[in-house]
Structure 1
Amino acid sequence: MRERHAIGPGDGLDDGLDDGLDDGISDGGPGLAAAPAAAPLLKLEGLSKRFGALQALQDASLALHPGEVHCLLGENGAGKSTLCNLVFGVHAADAGEMTLAGETFRPRSPADALSHGIAMVHQHFSLVPDMTVLDNLLLGQVRGVLDRKAGAARIAAMRERYGLALDPHAKVQDLSVGERQRVEIVKCLVREPRLLVLDEPTAVLLPQEIEALLSVCTRVAQQGCGVVLVTHKLAEIQRVARRATVLRGGRVVARSDAPAQDIDALVRAMIQRDLRAPAAAPARASRAFRPAPGSPTREAALLADGLTVRDADGVVRLDNFTLLVEPGEIVAIAGVEGNGQSELGAVLSGMLRPTEGRYFVCGEEMTRATPRQLSAAGCGVVPEDRHALACVTGMNVAENIMLDRLDRFRRFGLLDRAAMRREALDLMQRYDVRAASPDVPFGGLSGGNQQKAVLARELTLGGLRFLLAAQPTRGLDVGAVEAVYGHIRAAADRGVGVLLISSELDELLSVADRVLVLYRGRVMGACPTAGADRARIGAWMAGHRDKEDVAEEVAP
């Protein structure tokens, strides 16, 4: 008898969900053959894992067959990464069994998992920053003398095969976040694994890169490899998933053999409610900030005047960038990764001095301000790389959330940790940061919960007047994305000007008032998001402008 999806009583789901996710709904997934009758490549039975007081995984079971892409879904902190890390040997299970190709499998370490043909792309990068792309890819795979020429040829062959472009001689520390993710993916693919585990691999990729990676997943599966894909993006599930499993609170709560058809029920199982439709133009129109009658005219939230950045080699990375963001306005920056977005974010967050130009926040020049001075001036910053710039992973959650306001908790030279803990707990509840307590190490949180904690800190900054949010929903599940943009809209309602940088064009168009496209450091085009022409925006992202764009630029 075929097993039905595991939804037990008391889970708070719709009563009809059990019928909607029957394993026998469909004979095949999108673009893939029906599941083979052969024994599973990987089988997990009753896996459990506890970290201190946190039960991260409880009695989880899953079967993955050769030649299928199996999507693993769940909210941030649901246990997805823990399950993947058990398979890859990062942690050992407290209970349960794993079999690989019919044999008992108990990996003692990641090296042991690799020797069994399992490769994993982690949520957080595992690269050596001051080494080249090529050396990172060869690390641990070559014995004896390194043949870098042969290694570079192999990378070129992988690029041609999968469409994941890399410069083998570039240093990892000089790459953008998206480019580093590509290195991680290629690092796994060059091993030609029989089981590929991808933990949120598309969170930092651009739309065309995502499509290329999903094609890679399909191609690898068609060659007989089993693929476990952890993702929050519903379009990806519909595109490649042969089967799907939903985790909530560390338990398996739903399974589907036809994810593309069952997507609504899968979302309900994941977040325990229906996903609201994205806000459209009416929501933006009603959100426009209006100062109270008789109040003084407010300065622009952000005025960037001719910002230019040249790197150490004299290459222009940001070219004469000029922008005005009004109080209460959300302006979005779109573009293919590596076209000046990172440099713009670094300048506006005080991490990089512009070569030329100035910028002002509410009339106050901040061109040479430090990050501390920016915070004091009411500038919230959510950087694209939270680990490097937004948190201290060795400190606890409360300390990270209160990092920019520690002075408030000083009593006679000492920190009032009880008061700090109480306020941090309140923010954790408001922003749905899931952790056993405010005292747990920040590095122990899932990537999504780390991001929500950073957002909680920056959005509640005292006297917040301007918010720079770079990739604010990276690594978040669909429910959390909805909540994050709700908080950003609420800030705009209060008169905060927002500059939003994201590779998620659909999100930008649904949230922002205007969108600007950067190409090779220059503003290629700009338009209101209401009624925006996606084809025109796509052309700008590719560096193409038509006569209409030029006419608009020179018009008086």
Structure 2
Amino acid sequence: MNAVVSPASAAAPVLSLEGIGKRFGAFQALDDVSLDLMAGDVHCLLGENGAGKSTLCNVIFGVHQPDAGAMRIGGAAYRPRSPREAIEHGIAMVHQHFSLVDDASVLDNLLLGQARGKLDRAREARRVEATLARVGLALPLEARIADLSVGERQRVEIVKCLMREPRLLLLDEPTAVLLPAEIDALLDTCARVAANGCAVVLVTHKLKEICRIATHATVLQSGRAVARSEAPASDIDRLVDAMIRRAAHAEAADLHARLSLAPPREGSPWSRALSEEVLQIDGLAARDAEGVTRLSDCTLVVNRGEIVGIAGVEGNGQSELGAVLAGMTAAAAGRFFVAGQDMTRATPRELTRAGVGIVPEDRHAVGCVSGMSLVDNLMLNHLDRYSRAGWLQRRAMRERALELMERFDIRASGPDAIFGGLSGGNQQKAVLARELTLDPLHFLLAAQPTRGLDVGAVAAVYRHIRAARERGVGVLLISSELDELMSVADRIVVLYRGRIMGSCTPEAANRARIGAWMAGAGEPQ
């Protein structure tokens, strides 16, 4: 369904931006950005990673102050010095990362900061229920946040904002971790919020979402607004052209917009000799820190030259499976083998030496050292190669880093750039470059490798993963993006509540079956 545009959108903008500029040191994050945000509109903000989308939202929300330009609300000057001032002006923002108290209930999280003085809990609970009814959402108010699914936590964040009855709602990548049905529900919520007269800004990389929900769209590139549309669904090809370099357009469009769901390759997935099995998982189980079983009796095989996709709503055992295979968490039961070698109790260092490449789910926490340079991060798995008599050969490391930067299109000022200063897409390409250049490389674990990446970066990541498959590397691809799995994987395995529900080829005819498994329909295999 498309968002309903209220008559208010013909009136003055809720928020006007005129010539907004923002610089961080020598880096020009925003340059002369002008934008009108109207009541009743869902305005999608598009662009590559590092294009300035989040920076623009943070300027509007008072996290950053602009260096140039002006903002106006209802014709009056608006220059918030903090998010609190933005909230007081009727602006709310849902960030990419949750800001919830895990040990508190849903209701307590919703009431935090909502009332001053003595709290009438019963009255506030009724106000929460009224807000939920108005936008068509349901939440278990007495449940702990820690016990909720990712989709439910996202809803809590949104309702927390909507309780303030904002005139402008900013949503920064809100669907990145949601199940397809949850994405549909969220987009319906955006439409209802807009229909009630609120202006909605949605930052997204997903072309299907743009086609379905957007009434207006603006493309940012290198901090500048380079394209606009008042009919995004009709202008999608032009918008993609503006987002990414033309050379990458065909691949990215094929991956995201068309998704032809090509049939699986010959020989995949089950008719392989034992010698072709690069990963064997036998009855693997894992528990969380509180002793709760999150993965149970997981048995599967990944062949050489095959991409096996793990689908499922986040929180159903995928993270635990990835953590065990990466040597970050001990298995509670079962075993796994890489190229015939038992690696169940192997450390990350031992896995690397055995030819296992690991692209972790959280690249910031365990995939890199953000305060170190790009060259140091690229060489983390290769230091033995560049060590002589206890000294690192820095020149050779820099030369190799330059080669990898060119090969993997890692965009930075140079090998000595601080890793944490790179855009998310370039950080992910760097992690991928490091892991894919292991020698030998038998098996690649790629967990959520495209989370938060723009359409061009997504295409680049999968181009390199496919190339590894063609070299005979076995790949286990864990992703919450079902469309991507359907396009890239040779076989899809679905996890639900820590158990394998089923496995099938990624043909269009199997999509409904996969969706049912993701929702828990049927018996685990």
Task: Structure 2: give runs of 5+ residues left out of the alignment.
Answer: none
State the Cα deviation string for residues 83-107 of structure 1 (Å, max 9, x = none).
1111111212121111122111111
Aligned to 2:225, the other structure's residue is in SS state strand
Residue 355 of structure 1 pairs with residue 318 of structure 2: no
Q: Decide which moves more: 411-420 or 490-499.
A: 411-420
1:237-386 paired onto structure 2 within 5 Å:
237-273=210-246, 274-276=249-251, 277-278=254-255, 284-285=264-265, 298=275, 300-311=277-288, 315-386=292-363
Q: Deviations over 1:194-232 (max 9, x none)?
A: 111111111111111111111111111111111111111
Q: CA 1:254/1:287 → structure 2, altered by over 3 Å: closer, same or farther?
A: farther
Give yes or no for contact 1:29–1:258 (8 Å, CA) kept in 2: no
Alignment of 1:395-434 (within 5 A): 395-410=372-387, 413-434=390-411
In the alignment, does 2:448 pair up with 1:471? yes
Percentage of matched positions with identical amino acids? 65
Cα 1:89–1:370 shift into 2, 3 Å: same
Per-residue deviation, 1:136? 4.5
Cα deviation for residue 399 of structure 1 reads 3.0
- Provide closer, same or farther for how the CA distance between residues 111 and 361 of structure 1 changes in structure 2, counting only shifts above 3 A: same
374-383 vs 354-363, which deviates more? 374-383
Judged with a 3 Å threshold, the aligned counterparts in structure 2 of structure 1 residues 175 and 94 are, in CA distance, closer, same or farther, namely same
Letter in 2 for 1:237: I
* Whole-angstrom distance in 1 between the partners of 2:141 and 2:418: 36
What SS class does the counterpart of residue 192 from structure 1 fall into?
coil
Change (3 A) 1:142 1:348: farther
After superposing the two structures, state which structure 1 stretch, 458-467 or 110-119, moved more: 458-467
- Alignment of 1:447 with 2:428, yes or no, is no
C-alpha deviation, 1:182, in angstroms: 4.0
Give the aligned partner of residue 5 of structure 1. none
Distance 1:538 1:455 in 2: 29
Q: Give the aligned partner of residue 229 of structure 1.
A: 202
Q: Which residue of 1 aligns with 2:94?
A: 121
- Partner letter of residue 44 of structure 1? L
Distance 1:484 1:267 in 2: 17
CA distance in 2, matches of 1:151, 1:458: 51
Match for residue 192 of structure 2 among 216, 219, 243: 219
Per-residue displacement from partner, 1:337-393 (whole Å, max 9, x unpaired)?
A: 322222212221222222211111111111112222222222222222333332333
- After superposition, residues 44-123 of structure 1 pair within 5 angstroms as 44-123=17-96
| TM-score, normalised relative to structure 1 | 0.84
Question: Following TM superposition, by how much is the alpha carbon of 1:275 offset from its aligned partner in structure 2, in angstroms?
Answer: 3.2
Distance (whole Å) between structure 2 residues aligned to residue 492 and residue 183 of structure 1: 40
Matched, 1:391 2:368: yes
Q: Which stretch shows the higher mean deviation, 188-197 or 142-151? A: 142-151
CA distance in 2 between counterparts of 1:205 and 1:347 reads 23
SS in 2 for 1:354: coil
Q: Any conservation in 2 of the 1:304–1:322 contact (CA below 8 Å)?
A: yes
**Aligned partners of 2:11 and 2:280: how far apart in 1?**
62
In the superposition, relative to structure 1, how do residues 150 and 307 fare at CA in structure 2: closer, same or farther (>3 Å)? farther
Using the alignment, how far apart are the partners of 2:339 and 2:123 within structure 1? Answer: 55
Distance across 1 between alignment mates of 2:163 and 2:415 = 41
CA distance in 1, matches of 2:72, 2:440: 55
Aligned to 2:459: 482
Contact 2:309 2:492 (C-alpha < 8 Å) held by counterparts: yes
Instruction: Supply the AA of the counterpart residue of 1:285.
Output: R
Structure 1 segment 170-181 matched on structure 2, within 5 A: 170-172=144-146, 178=151, 180-181=153-154
Kept after mapping to 2: 8 A contact 1:268/1:275: no
Residue type of the alignment partner of 2:203: V
Residue 163 of structure 1 is matched in structure 2 by 137
Q: C-alpha separation between the residues in 2 aligned to 1:66 and 1:512? A: 42
More displaced stretch, 74-83 vs 393-402: 393-402
1:447 to 1:101, Cα distance in 2 relative to 1, 3 A: farther
1:125 and 1:69 map into 2 onto residues whose CA distance is 22
Q: Is the 8 A contact 2:14 2:37 kept in 1?
A: yes
Q: Is 1:186 equivalent to 2:159 in the alignment?
A: yes
Q: Aligned partners of 1:410 and 1:166: how far apart in 2?
A: 56
Are 1:177 and 1:385, in contact at CA under 8 Å, matched by a contact in 2?
A: no
Report how many residues are paired: 514
TM-score between the two structures when normalised by the length of structure 2: 0.88
Structure 1 counterpart of 2:424, one-letter code? G
Match for residue 199 of structure 1 among 145, 167, 172: 172
Unaligned 5+ segments in structure 1 are 1-27, 290-295
CA contact (8 A) 1:207 1:503 kept: no
Asked whether the 8 Å contact 1:332–1:499 carries over to 2, the reply is yes
Cα deviations by residue, 1:270-307 (Å, 9 ceiling, x for unpaired): 11323332476668527979xxxxxx984522111001
CA distance in 2, matches of 1:253, 1:223: 30
Once residues 12 and 294 of structure 2 are traced to their aligned partners in structure 1, the CA distance between those partners, rounded to angstroms, is 53
Quickly say closer, same or farther: Cα 1:297–1:209, change in 2 above 3 A.
closer
Change beyond 3 A, Cα 1:541–1:128? closer
1:500 aligns with 2:477: yes
